[in-house]
Amino acid sequence: MAGSKTRLVSPEAALPGRGTPIPSAERHAVLGTALKAPLSTSQQEALFGCGCFWGAEKGFWRLPGVITTAVGYAGGFTPNPTYEEVCSGGTGHTEVVRVVWDVNAVDFSDLLKLFWECHDPTQGMGQGNDTGTQYRSAIYVADAALLPQAEASRDRYQALLTAAGRGAITTELASGKPFYFAEAYHQQYLAKPGSRPYCSARPSGVLLDGFPGAAYKLPPAVWSHYDWSIDHCVLRGENSPIQP
């Protein structure tokens, strides 16, 4: 899944895309939930870019309280892009995981903890062996009210990274970015027979603790299923959701 572009394309130079969505899956291959259902009053959604979206999606769908996940493209300029167009660097998009969660079971701060810990947010236009604008780190929230919490988590994680001798975070934080579903074969890819066990994420091993606005709901036992001292640890875990 190697990319070829390491500089973000301008809106004027972006590929034109298309007016209709590309075909995708309708239901989650592991959770059995609808990928495109409207949110209920007890649900929220956010988009997370952590490098290659295959492994990142598995990390999120296993969390208790997550209703559904889907992979796709966001943060660029081309409407309804294909995977090949995104990988060309001509759309400006990054690969993201759309996460829908039950606010009564899991907090946004729990998802932020997973996000920061599961990859290296200091790598700019790439992650691990993957280089290109489509692998850059990003958080895009649908509800702008969530943005201050994301910013607070970033600032705390930066302090922890700095103390550990790591570099500056390059993660994009924004609200209101359109999400385009990726092709059906990408959805829950790692749970499908014959899939290639691949994940580009290189976690730093630094764990996120409390930060202003954090209201963690998940117990410590949940996080024992993720060992960030091991590269690609999500590949070693089961596909089924973690039981709290």
Cα dihedral angle (218, 170, 125, 89), rounded to 10 degrees? Answer: 90
pLDDT of residue 3: 41
What confidence tens digit (pLDDT) does each residue in 98-122 have? 999 999 999 999 999 999 999 999 9
Q: How far apart are CA 215 and CA 3, in angstroms?
A: 37
Prediction pTM value: 0.96
| Residue of 26 and 198 predicted with greater confidence | 26
Please tell me which residue in 50, 52, 118, 233 is annotated as part of the active site: 52
Give me the chain's average pLDDT, please.
Answer: 94
CATH for 40-223, among 3.40.50.150, 3.30.1060.10, 3.40.50.2020, 1.10.230.10? 3.30.1060.10
Closest to 62 measured CA to CA, from 200, 161, 190, 154: 190
DSSP 47: E
The answer to whether 239 touches 58, Cβ cutoff 8 Å, is yes
Question: What residue type is assigned to position 194 of the chain?
Answer: G
**What spatial distance separates the first Cα and last Cα of the chain, rounded to whole Å?**
33
Asked whether residue 2 carries a pLDDT value surpassing 60, the answer given is no
**Is 199 an active-site residue?**
no
Q: How far apart are CA 158 and CA 74, in angstroms?
A: 24
Residue whose structure tokens are 């014959």:
194
